Structure 1
Amino acid sequence: MKKNNLVTVPVSEVIGVGPEKEKQLNELGIVTVEHLLEYFPTRYEDYQLKDLAEVSHDERVTVEGKVHSEPSLRFYGKKRSRMTVKVLVGRYLISAVFFNQPFAKKQLTLGMTVTLTGKWDQHKSTLTVNQYKLTPHQGEQELQPIYSVKSLMKIHTLRKFIVQAFKQYAEYLPETLPRTVLQKYKLLPRKDALYRLHFPNTQEEAQHARRRFVYEEFLQFQLKVQAFRKFDRENDKGMKQEFSESDVSSFIKSLPFPLTNAQDRVVKEVLNDMQSDFRMNRLLQGDVGSGKTIVAAICLYATVKSGNQGALMVPTEILAEQHVESLKEVFSAYGITVELLTSSIKGKKRREILSKLVDGSIDIAVGTHALIQDEIIFKQLGLVITDEQHRFGVNQRRVLKEKGESPDVLFMTATPIPRTLSITAFGEMDVSIIDEYPAGRKEIKTYWAKHDMMDRILAFIDKELKQGRQAYVICPLIEESENLDVQNAHDIHAMLQQYFAQYQVGLMHGRLAADEKEAIMQEFGDNKVQVLVSTTVVEVGVNVPNATVMVIYDAERFGLSQLHQLRGRVGRGSAQSYCILLADPKTEVGKERMQIMTETNDGFVLAEKDLELRGPGDFFGTKQSGVPEFKVADMIHDYRALEIARQDAEKLVASTSFWEADEWAPMRDKLEKTGVFSGEKLD
């Protein structure tokens, strides 16, 4: 057998794997021998004997001791029982507690040496036993790998197959990293690392083996990202947009307020990209209220002055309408035509717009996903901007990019993305950040209140309403039951209608049709509704400068980033705004979230904390964002390795040795399989 054939050997070739077991392995994604050998443990159970003097409270521990008393057994109901027995462990006399294991009473006899594993209660000198052996400690396989399994596959069966696979195929395992890299970072060779990850003698050995694969996974992904950037730029020449810089400067000076330093920096970065001959692929991050929209307007102005058209795609119709109004106002003195195009525009009006897009008499089109339909044709599309880009599927974004001949593309998001995530999810893009707020913007005051303070909160809302202000009241989206979610919103709506009888109280939730949601938001925007009760569908919505209060029920159910997005619905006018988090968190994480929210309004600080508390899945749907799933690497805890791998990949892709030297052939082969050379998108 050739070494490089191992990846194609079916797992059924492993001795002991019959048709039934092969099917079970396939359900775990294990199709080949390589899949089996790279099916890594999720954790390890430590069966090494410990001295109780060195064991922390609540730690899982294995001890050896002599039975020192007759077991005492008590029953609770038909099936529940609790048995206690004294065991002498070294110089400690401890209580060993067995729940629902009554059969152990006959097995344990005075003076017998036993091995017990369980949770140690240091304060009560008690061990809650979940595993036991009626023999002294054997000392074999003290560190047992635990694998994620499903269906009928058992962990011990999977372990047995992995052992057998090593016996049959270990000699064929190829090395994938050059010796120079292994020496530089003191990494184990691949064969040794694989074996020690599955069968370590100590935790340190497992960690050492894991280090190798963390680096390899990150390097492989970053090579893919950097290669994509390289080939995307080389093969995807953009249109060089030519505009007068002094003309753009004059336009900026005509705006009713000066740009912040951050806005000024970002505008320069985007305009430089537009003037270059490669296609811009840039992500613009800016917290809620940081002024991304005016940056977009300046860039759209520049593309129109270059003789091109611009497109701005947003997630909702009401947001599209809002952008059209603000852009028309900004461009009113410049003869730039801005038109709205959404799915609700039909008939003669729609045909007129489509015709004007083709002949170029519309300079800027603003719309929802309606902009990417086949019938939409631009005369000369120069710049595509997508707002809240992670809310559009990858394919939707790609189709809009393909509407012109290599238009420049700017993705905007108000979700601050931690650096850890932007390196991975958006590594193929250039990233610009607006990390400064416009002068005079009042910080939203945030308070954490318990549910028993509801009367005070209602009185506070009433005070704001009497001053002509408006308020949002958000109910949590309970995913397990849409009905419960709607009912919850209904109950609160009914209560508030009674309390605020002299005002209009609106209700919005995910069960309403899109046009119904749009209508309610429009009424709220026009101040025909003073209090809006809603689920999180309001998270990205209309700009209502008159709304000054945001109350979030059961706030502990939300992640920090989502709470921050909801809070950003207020604070858009000149009046002081408030966010009240209504929560009685039962967990430390919940309490920590509430505390952090009251301490900072900085979305980037919150994003980093959220990532630590909840992980990357809450920022974007993985399928849409390109956030990779690694087998062993964790981009939060292994952040330094991720940064090193990114730097290494950047240098390698730019070098000739990576593309030509034999030592890099295995990594090049893997890279080729990703489709990056044929221009396939990362996600």
Structure 2
Amino acid sequence: MTTTPDLHALPVGKLKGVSASKAEALHALGIATAADLLEYYPFRYEDYRIRNLTEVKDGEKITVQGTVMSVPALQRYGRGKARLSCRVTIERWLVTAVWFNRAFLKDQLTVGREIVLTGKWDQRRKQLTVTESEFADKAGGRAGSLQPVYSITGSLTQSWMRRCIEQALEQLGGYIEEVLPGDLLTRHRLMARREAIRRIHTPEDTREGQEARRRLVYEELFLFQLKLHAYRQVTRSRMDGVAHAIDNEAVLAFAAALPFELTDGQKKVTNEILRDMREPYAMNRLLQGDVGSGKTVVAAIALFATVKSGHQGALMVPTEILAEQHLRSLQGLFAPLGIEVALLVGGMPARRRRDALAGLQMGMTDIVVGTHALIQEDVAFRSLGLVVTDEQHRFGVSQRSILRRKGMNPDVLTMTATPIPRTLAITAFGDMDVSTIRERPQGRRPIRTYWVKHELMDRVLGFIRREAAAGRQAYIICPLIEESDKLDVQNAIDVHVQIQQAFPDLRIGLLHGRMSAAEKEEAMRAFGAGELHALVSTTVVEVGVDVPNATLMVVMDAERFGLSQLHQLRGRVGRGAHQSYCVLVADPKSETGQERMRVMTETDDGFEVARRDLELRGPGDFFGTKQSGLPEFRLADMSSDFGVLETARDDAAELVGRADFWRDETYAPLRERLSRAQIFEGDVLD
């Protein structure tokens, strides 16, 4: 009795025609097993289908069939170089076919022999510069086919890769197992898996290749979404989170005592968060909103509810400046209520750090605000109930996971002021519930944004002078700290000197990442207190810094920044009652850089900026970090396949919510896939 081979366990080196050196080259591409090889899909096709000359444009690549009509002429020139040419009839045309460095073909090009030519067509000369040719009387050629093109490196060639995959299909294609349930195949009119894998490698025509790709893209996105939804189902079924006893009256009183009324959006997301916190499973929620939409207040209400239910809260932020600002604002809110808020950052004196650690461990500290210092080994909590991470894409996946494990599966709220396009929210944060604040607090005016060239810098200086004369303040942002030979960009130290020289009567501050914690704190304190007219800074002010009297944001060499980063910087102004402005000083050479400037001047809606940023940069670069958790898909493209993603997500959610999914034999292959991905073994998706 022959056993069915497990394609996921069969080493690629065991396949016919794969030597040890070729196996090593395949491993470098991430191909370790037979399944990996069969699922290594082409990224495009070479079209060798025979066409008529009347269909082709000048300079286009074409494959045609004709008859040799003249004895070939061979010209040798240079060292080992040759030009071979002959006349060929193609349909009713007599054309010249030219080969370079193919002298060996001379004796084979006999008059009257049928030949298939692929090359570039020169309409004026009636000449075809041949890149590939084959004789019609020889079997096994490419003529009339679409040939797959694979991403390859090293010693691998396209012809070897094609032959290797064809042999693997012939040898093992019959063992490819279906993973999608029959009802989904029927509902979406999808090819069987075995057929789709065969057809994506060897399509008869474009339509067949497209149908194969459609099936496999759906499968890829469906399996990914199934993993996320099964994970959520499993973790929620454990009921091992913190079920907060929310004191509704206390929360309402706290919100009513705030110096402003919450917007409808803030009230809505607060209710969503508190509803989750009451449940016995661990909350995993993303709170997104544009800059200045009031996410921090929502987080403060959630932290207040945590403390009132007898637990501790932690707020992790990416920079010490932001941690110190959050500390001051939270102490202002909580000190009158007897709630103890502490700071934990890397630059603290040893004694203050020891006191902070003791306060957390003994439960004397209710809320801690900190940077990545919160996840160090010696940090322990008495009863951690809620973890809030601000600007979460700046933390690696593992960093968030460590903080979560410092409690008994605490609730997690992650916040971002980089509005995430729906595509990426479903993809990168599919294991989270998403809350969105769309409106801005009342009284916030749109920020007027201008793009100017460097030669208009005198007008920009005049703008700074006018705002200072009106009692307002300005930020001047530079991409680098010191002069660099590599990049011809403004730098904070030089610009600080230039601005001081331009305004000897004004107080100009300087802030950058290489200053000590005390120096940075003093610069921000002085700016926040209105003691400085302007602050020259690097992007350390990008996230969360809140100075309502600052009304002008000047960004030097703005083309060096991404769209989302420019929008974040713009969000540092417009936080008070006065009209605010953003001036982008840039001379972008690239079309992308010019498009960024156009987007910034056309809209100050963060969701629209994020959508345009995704179009310009693509999903892989959107977060500006490799630790963003975005999956690498073999076939799916987040821009063009978004409709398929939404369908796959709905199908996966519906399926895992059914009782028969977890026990019926029909779904055994899917459960096996989830088991292989260790979905049932713990907190693996974080």
TM-score range, shorter chain: 0.7 to 0.9
Q: Which of 395, 398, 410 lines up with 2:398 in the alignment?
A: 395
- The amino acid that maps onto 2:236 is R
Provide TM-score, normalisation by structure 2: 0.87
**Structure 1 residues 236, 538: closer, same or farther in 2, change over 3 A?**
same
**Structure 1 residues 659, 244: closer, same or farther in 2, change over 3 A?**
closer
> How many residue pairs are counted as aligned between the two chains?
673
- Match in the other structure for 1:333: 336
Indicate whether 1:427 and 2:430 are aligned: yes
- The amino acid that maps onto 1:580 is V
Determine helix, strand or coil for the equivalent of 1:274.
Answer: helix
- Match in the other structure for 2:598: 595
* TM-superposition CA deviations, 1:509-530 (whole Å, max 9, x none): 5666776655655554455654
8 Å Cα contact 1:42/1:148 also seen in 2: yes
- Match in the other structure for 1:7: 8
Shift in Å, 1:404:
2.3
- Match in the other structure for 2:197: 194
- Match in the other structure for 1:33: 34
- Give distance in 2, aligned partners of 1:288 and 1:61: 53
- Match in the other structure for 1:546: 549
- The amino acid that maps onto 1:558 is F
- Give distance in 2, aligned partners of 1:90 and 1:7: 50
- Match in the other structure for 2:19: 18
8 Å Cα contact 2:238/2:281 also seen in 1: no
- Match in the other structure for 1:232: 235
Q: Which of 599, 605, 612 lines up with 2:608 in the alignment?
A: 605
- Give distance in 1, aligned partners of 2:24 and 2:603: 52
Q: Which of 573, 577, 584 lines up with 2:576 in the alignment?
A: 573
* TM-superposition CA deviations, 1:62-104 (whole Å, max 9, x none): 5679999x99x9x9x9999x999999987999999x9xx9769
Determine helix, strand or coil for the equivalent of 2:662.
Answer: helix
Q: RMSD across aligned C-alpha pairs, in angstroms?
A: 3.9
- Match in the other structure for 1:307: 310
- Give distance in 1, aligned partners of 2:513 and 2:558: 18
After superposing the two structures, state which structure 1 stretch, 228-237 or 491-500, moved more: 491-500
After superposing the two structures, state which structure 1 stretch, 25-34 or 448-457, moved more: 448-457
- The amino acid that maps onto 1:638 is D
- Match in the other structure for 1:454: 457
- The amino acid that maps onto 2:357 is L
- Match in the other structure for 2:650: 647
Determine helix, strand or coil for the equivalent of 1:628.
Answer: coil
- Give distance in 1, aligned partners of 2:37 and 2:144: 20
8 Å Cα contact 1:473/1:532 also seen in 2: yes
- The amino acid that maps onto 2:131 is Q
Determine helix, strand or coil for the equivalent of 1:625.
Answer: coil
- Give distance in 2, aligned partners of 1:177 and 1:392: 35
- Match in the other structure for 2:131: 131
- The amino acid that maps onto 1:266 is V
> Where do 1:94-109 residues align within 5 Å?
none
Shift in Å, 1:154:
1.5
Indicate whether 1:296 and 2:299 are aligned: yes
**Structure 1 residues 65, 514: closer, same or farther in 2, change over 3 A?**
farther
- Give distance in 1, aligned partners of 2:638 and 2:586: 31
Determine helix, strand or coil for the equivalent of 1:404.
Answer: coil
- Give distance in 2, aligned partners of 1:644 and 1:488: 48
- Match in the other structure for 1:144: 147
Shift in Å, 1:567:
1.5
8 Å Cα contact 2:490/2:557 also seen in 1: no
8 Å Cα contact 1:309/1:383 also seen in 2: yes
- The amino acid that maps onto 1:322 is Q
Determine helix, strand or coil for the equivalent of 1:561.
Answer: helix
Indicate whether 1:377 and 2:380 are aligned: yes
After superposing the two structures, state which structure 1 stretch, 296-305 or 259-268, moved more: 296-305
8 Å Cα contact 1:486/1:509 also seen in 2: no
> Where do 1:338-417 residues align within 5 Å?
338-417=341-420
Shift in Å, 1:230:
0.7
Provide TM-score, normalisation by structure 1: 0.87
- Give distance in 2, aligned partners of 1:283 and 1:555: 29
Indicate whether 1:671 and 2:674 are aligned: yes
* TM-superposition CA deviations, 1:480-534 (whole Å, max 9, x none): x895378755555554444344445555556667766556555544556544444
**Structure 1 residues 92, 268: closer, same or farther in 2, change over 3 A?**
farther
8 Å Cα contact 2:474/2:535 also seen in 1: yes
- Match in the other structure for 1:159: 162
- The amino acid that maps onto 2:459 is R
Determine helix, strand or coil for the equivalent of 1:153.
Answer: coil
**Structure 1 residues 78, 236: closer, same or farther in 2, change over 3 A?**
farther
- Give distance in 2, aligned partners of 1:673 and 1:501: 67
- The amino acid that maps onto 1:338 is V
Determine helix, strand or coil for the equivalent of 2:215.
Answer: helix
- Match in the other structure for 1:628: 631
Shift in Å, 1:671:
0.9
- Give distance in 2, aligned partners of 1:87 and 1:553: 62
Unaligned runs of 5+ in 2: none
- Give distance in 1, aligned partners of 2:196 and 2:189: 12
- Give distance in 1, aligned partners of 2:56 and 2:351: 78
Shift in Å, 1:598:
1.5
Determine helix, strand or coil for the equivalent of 1:8.
Answer: coil
8 Å Cα contact 1:386/1:412 also seen in 2: yes
8 Å Cα contact 2:199/2:209 also seen in 1: yes
The percentage of counterpart residues that share the same residue type is 52
8 Å Cα contact 2:117/2:130 also seen in 1: no
Shift in Å, 1:548:
2.3
> Where do 1:511-530 residues align within 5 Å?
520-522=523-525, 524-526=527-529, 530=533
Determine helix, strand or coil for the equivalent of 2:281.
Answer: coil
* TM-superposition CA deviations, 1:296-354 (whole Å, max 9, x none): 11111212222222211111111111111111212243222212222222333333232
- Give distance in 2, aligned partners of 1:620 and 1:167: 42
- Match in the other structure for 1:660: 663
**Structure 1 residues 136, 220: closer, same or farther in 2, change over 3 A?**
same
8 Å Cα contact 2:50/2:143 also seen in 1: no
Q: Which of 315, 319, 322 lines up with 1:319 in the alignment?
A: 322
Q: Which of 273, 284, 307 lines up with 1:281 in the alignment?
A: 284
- Give distance in 2, aligned partners of 1:315 and 1:535: 15
**Structure 1 residues 185, 249: closer, same or farther in 2, change over 3 A?**
same
- Give distance in 2, aligned partners of 1:451 and 1:321: 35
After superposing the two structures, state which structure 1 stretch, 34-43 or 561-570, moved more: 561-570
- The amino acid that maps onto 1:160 is R
**Structure 1 residues 432, 60: closer, same or farther in 2, change over 3 A?**
farther
> Where do 1:227-266 residues align within 5 Å?
227-266=230-269
8 Å Cα contact 1:3/1:174 also seen in 2: no
Determine helix, strand or coil for the equivalent of 2:634.
Answer: coil
**Structure 1 residues 37, 460: closer, same or farther in 2, change over 3 A?**
same
* TM-superposition CA deviations, 1:151-191 (whole Å, max 9, x none): 22222211111111112112222222233322221111112
Unaligned runs of 5+ in 1: none
> Where do 1:106-125 residues align within 5 Å?
115-118=117-120
Shift in Å, 1:417:
0.9
